[in-house]
Chain A
Amino acid sequence: MSNKPLIEVNGLSKYFDVNTGLFKSKKLKAVDNVSFSIKKGETLGLVGESGCGKTTVGRTILHLYNPTSGEIVYDGKKIKSKESIEEFRRHATMVFQDPYSSLNPRMTVSDIIGEPLDVHKLYSSKKEREEKILELMSHVGLNSEHASRYAHEFSGGQRQRIGIARSLAVNPDFIVCDEPVSALDVSIQAQVINMFEDLQDKMGLTYLFIAHDLLVVRHISDRIAVMYLGRMVELADASEIYDRPLHPYSKSLLSAVPVPDPKIARENKRIVLEGDIPSPLNAPSGCPFRTRCPYATEQCAASMPEFKEVEPGHFVACHRVGEIN
């Protein structure tokens, strides 16, 4: 792992227009002013509740959505123009959440895996294409006889392997993993997670690993970012954030992680938040978490807390971070 960041995200925002009436529309702030960077060979875990904008961050980085504002810098180059996006897509790919809907049911496995090769024309002969596909399949533990099968003939875990092989086809440096294991059952999850780690060691990959399963994220991530309502609330090393979360939201989130030991589980006190996550259409003023925060004050309603480094490598967005810890 080098110290140079491979990808930097600066003040990324993505607002969607939502029609609320015949001619009225409102801005839905799915992602609001998110900044982070990922070093080469590192895995950044991104966690948060459903609907907090994790997936949108991943997709906006890959320009599947046009960012409303903010910039993405990859390997020192800004990703903005059409050409730079095209070039970027040969280095950055994505693994999708649902292995059932992310594979075209009318294509054979070799066509699915070979699609990025076809799109970028990364081969000179049919034979070379076939060889590359078989090599990719062996990387992810699929047999060569599976190549002519259709996706519906496979189990969930195998399908996810096909999806991973597809994302590896362009020989990328950076992969956005959008909840790649949450649709799989636990035993398969372990296999796939281990495969992600093996591939990282072998190919020197950098991951943005989006998930809501905190144990999985802790296992695979070097650093973890916590999102709430489209904003990043905390970012720190994985062990640091697990042992000493500073933001009240992270605290409650981490207290909800099930512990596979009933004795410890009984002693651990769960911090139960009240109420639901507010609609991002009517986000509260000031700190977005203040409506559910047990420590909220008037200051929290008045102004947005800054996302600042309180300790080396530990970023938190909370006004009262000094008082409550």
Chain B
Amino acid sequence: MNKRPFSMQVDLDMFTPASDKEKEYLVKMRPSSTFFKDGVKRLIKNKIASISLLLVVIVALASIILPMFWPYSYDQQLGLQPGKPVDPSYNNLAPFEYGRTEMKLMEEGVEIFPHLFGTDALGRDYFIRVVYGTRISLAVGFFASIIVLLIGMTIGSIAGYMGGKVDLVIMRIVDIIYSLPDMLMVILLSSVLKVSLGPVIAGTVLEKIGSNIISLFIVFGVLYWVSMSRLIRGQILSLREQEYVLAARATGAKGSWIITKHLIPNSISVVIISTALQIPNAIFTESYLSFLGLGVNAPMPSLGSLASEALKGMSSYPHRLVIPAIVISIIVLSLNLLGDGLRDAFDPKLNG
């Protein structure tokens, strides 16, 4: 016992070998976690990001579900009853006010659904118009970002992977599109497309969506993929020098295999983040185009066109300008914060 006075003397009888059950328990202790699961876990831990996510989901769901059972529709002029003269008492109602016929009905004891935000100058329920406008804005934002993502990712990954002359040509095209003044191009393109698209899509499913929204998507598709493709090209340029790509080439993998199995999965975090940040950008662009009168076709509202219409009566009915502005701010702010949260959660530099 005194041979090694400085080492701890351990009585081996105090130990028993682990049973199979215990071993199994140890093996199962830490389930293998994927990169994606880790990211989601980190995202949920981030309070600001999860509140933003919740807000976005609530706003999106509300804009989809509410119009289904709301008693008024976005294009219904309440003062306009068939066979009767126009009732001007419905125009420009303040929040929670009622039109003349509605007051009469209420005196008789009929319950009338309140106009939460009042009505607009043509006697349309303003709340449902805001909800509908939110739906349009969100839809434009999401779909435009997806279009941008698809085009940008395809072109960017091809340019990055092929390198050489292909890369040179694609990147010079990107430079040219970059050097055009955005705003001017957007306005020019959408005013030209608005006119020329009408007859092309007449009679197809696309007509329902409206030539203006389609021209918006085209504008996004044509102009905004460039920054996405630059980003992805940069990612892929740095990733393709990695040894695992070389290893895949050594086994005889083709370019498409390497891009889809190795390069894009490894740049996916950057892609998610920039897509999330692209959505508010697209919503903004849609709003200012609608504000300038190049957005959605009337009577369909969008948040931008609502604000634009409200501008005329700004001093008498300020709430009509403030409400869509607040909704835009909430959507854009929460999407931006969500994008930041995604970056924190999925940034490859943070997980070792």
Interface, chain A (partner B; CB < 8 A): 59, 62, 64, 85-86, 89-90, 93-94, 96-98, 101-108, 115-116, 119-120, 145, 148-150, 152-153, 163, 166, 169-170
Contacts and interface: CB of A to CB of B under 8 A. Distances in A.
A86 B252 contact: yes
Interface string B199-211: 0000000000000
18 contacts: A59-B246, A86-B252, A89-B251, A96-B243, A96-B246, A102-B246, A103-B244, A104-B244, A104-B262, A106-B266, A116-B251, A120-B251, A145-B27, A150-B34, A150-B35, A152-B352, A163-B247, A169-B251
A150 B32 contact: yes
A153 B248 contact: no
B253 A115 contact: yes
B247 A102 contact: yes
Contacts of B265: 104, 106-107
A170 B251 contact: yes
Given A106-B266, A150-B35, A119 B253 contact: yes
B251 A102 contact: no
Given A116-B251, A153-B32, A105 B243 contact: no
Contacts of A64: 246, 249-250
B33 to A, nearest CB: 8
B55 to A, nearest CB: 30
Given A106-B266, A148-B32, A150-B32, A101 B252 contact: no
A6 to B, nearest CB: 18
Contacts of B113: none
B252 A98 contact: no
Interface in B276-324: none
Contacts of A148: 32
Contacts of B76: none
Nearest to B262: A104
B257 interface: yes
A93 B253 CA distance: 12
Contacts of B352: 152
B242 interface: yes
Nearest to B239: A104
A90 B252 contact: yes
Interface in B205-261: 242-244, 246-253, 257, 261
